[in-house]
């Protein structure tokens, strides 16, 4: 993979004011029309996604397969294909559409995001089942379920305006809980 994504700059933050300033500075680097389009989409005013025609979907799926084949190092993806060649959700249209939609049908970016997600998922969970089917709450251990039930971490019973599940951490933000465990939640 030639592209490297740096989501957070390697800058120590002295507090909320410094963090807000850093976010504002980064947002100002985005051209106004792009920043406005993102803001309108987040608030449900405008959608920057293309109209999803059957032709666009078919072409995008084909191009995504080509882009996936171009990525030389994709251990989790390759493992899913090797272990579950005819029985993995990784090959379903719904799974792949998530990544295409996330990257607004940029197939190269969608392929990189998909491979990165699968590698992350494979590292996060023990066992190969996460490469065969979507993760489920039953994949959590009894100890993990007990922590989840304390209420520090909650999956709310409703979704946001875009249909995404809402996950929150309350109280002391659950920082005493291991990072890997919090990410699994």
Which pLDDT score is estimated for 12?
57
Q: What does DSSP say about strands 153-159 and 165-169: parallel, antiparallel, or unpaired?
A: antiparallel
Q: What's the CA angle centered on 37, arms 35 and 41, to 5 degrees? A: 120
Q: Tokens for 42?
A: 């987040």
In which band, very low, low, confident or very high, does the pLDDT at 98 lie, cut at 50, 70 and 90?
A: very high
Distance CA 153, CA 137 (A): 13
Which pLDDT score is estimated for 89?
94
19 pLDDT higher than 90:
no
5 pLDDT higher than 50:
no
65 pLDDT higher than 70:
yes
43 pLDDT higher than 50:
yes
Say which DSSP state 140 is in.
Answer: S
Which pLDDT score is estimated for 1?
45
Residue 91, C-beta contacts closer than 8 angstroms, at least 6 positions apart: 81
Percent of the chain predicted with pLDDT > 90: 37
Distance CA 55, CA 67 (A): 18
Residue 48, C-beta contacts closer than 8 angstroms, at least 6 positions apart: 37, 38, 41, 104
Which pLDDT score is estimated for 133?
92
* Residue 99, burial from CB neighbour count under 10 angstroms (0-12, 13-18, 19+): buried
**Higher-scoring residue by pLDDT: 161, 128:** 128
58 pLDDT higher than 80:
yes
pTM for this prediction: 0.67
Which pLDDT score is estimated for 171?
59
Average pLDDT, the chain: 82
Q: Is-contact 160 166, C-beta < 8 A?
A: yes
Counted residue by residue, the chain has a size of 185
Average pLDDT in the 41-64 region?
85
Residue 153, C-beta contacts closer than 8 angstroms, at least 6 positions apart: 147, 167, 168, 169, 170, 174, 177, 182, 185
Which pLDDT score is estimated for 100?
95
Which pLDDT score is estimated for 62?
97
């Amino acid at each position: 993979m030639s592209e490297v994504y740096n989501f957070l700059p390697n800058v120590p933050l002295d507090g909320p004011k410094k963090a807000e300033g850093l976010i504002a500075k980064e947002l100002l680097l985005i051209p106004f029309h792009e920043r406005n389009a993102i803001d309108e989409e987040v608030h449900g005013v405008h959608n920057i996604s293309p109209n999803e025609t059957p032709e666009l979907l078919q072409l995008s799926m084909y191009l995504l397969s080509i882009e996936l084949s171009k990525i030389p190092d994709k251990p989790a993806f390759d493992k899913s294909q090797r272990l579950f060649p005819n029985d993995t959700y990784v090959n379903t249209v719904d799974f792949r559409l998530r990544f295409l939609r996330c990257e607004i049908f940029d197939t190269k970016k969608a392929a990189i995001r998909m491979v990165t997600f699968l590698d992350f998922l494979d590292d996060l969970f023990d066992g190969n089942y996460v490469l065969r089917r979507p993760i489920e709450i039953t994949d959590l251990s009894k100890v993990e379920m007990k922590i989840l039930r304390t209420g520090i971490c909650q999956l709310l019973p409703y979704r946001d305006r875009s249909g995404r599940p809402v996950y929150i951490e309350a109280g002391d933000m659950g920082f005493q809980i291991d990072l890997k465990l919090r990410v699994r939640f």
